[in-house]
Structure 1
Amino acid sequence: MQMIDGEPKATVTQDMHHTDAAVMALHCSGSDSTQWQHLDTYLAQETELILPTLAGAEAVTRGWSRKTYTLAEEAKPLVDALHHHAAPMHLVGHSYGGAVALHIARHHPERVVSLCLYEPTSFSLLSHVNQADRKLFDEIETLAVAIENAVAEGCPDFAAQVFTDFWGGVGTWQALRRDRRAALIDWIPKCPLDFGALLYEPPGAALPAHLPVTLMVGTQSQRQTQRIVQLLRAETSQASVVEVDGAGHLGPFTFRDRIAGLISAHFQRVGKPMIAAGTVGRGL
């Protein structure tokens, strides 16, 4: 397993030449590389798991803002990693990490073997379809502005609570461990940048027609993410949609083992690199 501490301009210094396709798993906003660490126990012995930590609040100190930060900027160190690797990679992603994975697949399709995504928050897809979708887009933009204003007014704890309770439901913030709340408060200045990158992503190339895609969506999730999954399903005939009964947007945390099993099923469908669920892999 390789851990990459991501900064906006970070690069991968270790040479990563392997014959088998590796897996790069991208976490959601406000999390870090440990989100997908448990996938290591599902991997075949010869498969490399790459766990980047995406850019954090340091991006704000470098001059980026909600209106200027982009998924292309976020993806730079990841694209560098892909090009340093001898073979294309499978990409796994949740929420913001899923949207970053989609961006990479659209702009660097030759480096991607497959996509397995839980509710990618590609909000820009909602901005140009119809009036109902535009309303969903406007709701997220309003949320982003509210969080941005709270941070600017010196209320990062309130901003972090608004963000957390939007995705997890009222009370999610209060249920978090103290260290997780502190980590989110430290990260929250980056939140408006993530929203801006997601909301204002310019139209990109279509997903490659041959690319295998699994899209997971919770039955209790927000209308925005459910609609984005519908739009992505309509974009490519290779997409398979899996509904996770009872899960919300935080399904990879609250239904961790179930989601890991679905990721395993995805790799069984595309041929590599997960072992079959219930069999012995590394770390077991």
Structure 2
Amino acid sequence: MVNVEKQNSGVFVKGNPNGGAVVMLHSSLSSSSQWRTLETKLADEFLTINIDLLGYGSAPQVENPESYSLNTEYKRIMNVIANVIADRPFHLVGHSLGGANALKIAVQNPNRLLSLNMYEPVAFHLLEQGTIAREEVDDFAKVVASSSDEQAARYFTDTWNRKGFFDNLPVKIRQLMMSDINKVNLDFIGLISEKYTLDVCAKISCPVLLMHGSHSPQISGEVIKRLLSVLPNVTECEILAGHMAPISHAEEVADIIFNTLTIK
């Protein structure tokens, strides 16, 4: 069993070194810790590579915010993967922002993935300009960017959870979220500025598990609809939960992903 935690870089490698590699990417205002339940469940059969995205957990901050894009995340993630498993193929798991990063990795490496497992990837650039859904996303990003850190953190977390969620959190957690709002704004910039088109996603030939919640915001559902229309080898899974199910329903989501990965 491997248990390597590189605290300064936000990279956590655990599990069976002879098993298939599973790369895990978390959501905005979160960290690799959201995947601990899944990490534990996979430990006997898989090698897990659980990564804090830039600016979250114990990962480095973004060095050049003015030039930030998802390519910034992509290069670091792929470098981490290369350092751990060289050029071996791997399974990929992502939630929300992590799902959007996972989708980008799949688009750019369609022949290397063993599977792609996403819970509501917020690949907002796939929402066409001029549509109501895209306008809602752009308006949402503007509100977060123009508000105080506290107001932005409240608006962001309440939208993706439920009204009043932020104010019911412990003070320490609220403060941590407020301190991470600048990275949330960069996340939106990266998500909206992506250039690949929906038709390119049709080149992802590996099995795709596309999970979503029955109580999630409509804007994440719009991305799901578009992906379901083009992915050639996709399985849809709806959970009686919201956008943050990988955290609020961690055991259920972990079971679904585990069962998908262990199907022979």
TM normalised by structure 2 equals 0.87
Asked whether the equivalents of residues 201 and 227 of structure 2 are also in contact (C-alpha less than 8 Å), the reply is: no
Shift of residue 113 of structure 1? 1.4
CA shift digits 1:92-125 (9 cap, x unpaired):
1110000000000111224321111110000011
- The reply to whether residue 173 of structure 1 matches residue 171 of structure 2 is no
Shift of residue 3 of structure 1? 4.2
Asked whether the equivalents of residues 2 and 48 of structure 1 are also in contact (C-alpha less than 8 Å), the reply is: no
CA shift digits 1:31-79 (9 cap, x unpaired):
011110111221152421111110117756x3414xx421111111111
Asked whether the equivalents of residues 2 and 51 of structure 1 are also in contact (C-alpha less than 8 Å), the reply is: no
Q: Which residue of 2 is the match for residue 278 of structure 1?
A: none
Shift of residue 175 of structure 1? 1.8
Q: Which residue of 1 is the match for residue 260 of structure 2?
A: 266
| Structure 1: unaligned runs, 5 residues or longer | 272-284
Q: Which residue of 2 is the match for residue 136 of structure 1?
A: 133
Equivalent position to 1:229, from 207, 219, 224: 224
CA distance in 2, matches of 1:103, 1:6: 25
Shift of residue 228 of structure 1? 0.9
Task: Decide whether aligned partners of structure 1 residues 255 and 46 sit closer, same or farther in structure 2, where only a CA change above 3 A counts.
Answer: closer
Give runs of aligned pairs for residues 58-77 of structure 1, distance below 5 A: 59=61, 62-65=63-66, 68-77=67-76
Asked whether the equivalents of residues 55 and 183 of structure 2 are also in contact (C-alpha less than 8 Å), the reply is: yes
Which amino acid counterpart does residue 239 of structure 1 have in structure 2? V
Give me the CA root mean square deviation: 2.4
Asked whether the equivalents of residues 38 and 251 of structure 2 are also in contact (C-alpha less than 8 Å), the reply is: no
Sequence identity of aligned pairs in percent?
32
Shift of residue 19 of structure 1? 4.9
Shift of residue 210 of structure 1? 2.5
Asked whether the equivalents of residues 90 and 115 of structure 1 are also in contact (C-alpha less than 8 Å), the reply is: yes
CA distance in 2, matches of 1:135, 1:3: 43
Which amino acid counterpart does residue 221 of structure 1 have in structure 2? S
Q: Which residue of 1 is the match for residue 203 of structure 2?
A: 208
Which amino acid counterpart does residue 72 of structure 1 have in structure 2? N
Q: Which residue of 2 is the match for residue 119 of structure 1?
A: 120
Give runs of aligned pairs for residues 16-31 of structure 1, distance below 5 A: 19-31=18-30
Which amino acid counterpart does residue 169 of structure 2 have in structure 1? L
Asked whether the equivalents of residues 18 and 46 of structure 2 are also in contact (C-alpha less than 8 Å), the reply is: no
Q: Which residue of 2 is the match for residue 147 of structure 1?
A: 144
Q: Which residue of 2 is the match for residue 51 of structure 1?
A: 50
Please state whether the residue corresponding to 1:51 is helix, strand or coil: strand
Task: Decide whether aligned partners of structure 1 residues 209 and 202 sit closer, same or farther in structure 2, where only a CA change above 3 A counts.
Answer: closer
Asked whether the equivalents of residues 4 and 53 of structure 1 are also in contact (C-alpha less than 8 Å), the reply is: no
CA distance in 2, matches of 1:28, 1:120: 9
Q: Which has the higher contact order (CA 8 A, sep 6+)?
A: 1
CA distance in 1, matches of 2:19, 2:250: 26
Q: Which residue of 2 is the match for residue 257 of structure 1?
A: 251
Which amino acid counterpart does residue 80 of structure 1 have in structure 2? N
Please state whether the residue corresponding to 1:109 is helix, strand or coil: coil
CA distance in 1, matches of 2:224, 2:6: 28
CA distance in 1, matches of 2:97, 2:8: 14
CA distance in 1, matches of 2:243, 2:8: 24
Shift of residue 177 of structure 1? 2.0
CA shift digits 1:231-265 (9 cap, x unpaired):
111111201000112x1111112211111111112
Task: Decide whether aligned partners of structure 1 residues 59 and 137 sit closer, same or farther in structure 2, where only a CA change above 3 A counts.
Answer: farther
- The reply to whether residue 238 of structure 1 matches residue 238 of structure 2 is no
CA distance in 2, matches of 1:219, 1:53: 27
Asked whether the equivalents of residues 145 and 185 of structure 2 are also in contact (C-alpha less than 8 Å), the reply is: yes
Q: Which residue of 1 is the match for residue 81 of structure 2?
A: 82
Judge which range, 181-190 or 49-58, deviates more: 49-58
CA distance in 2, matches of 1:233, 1:202: 19
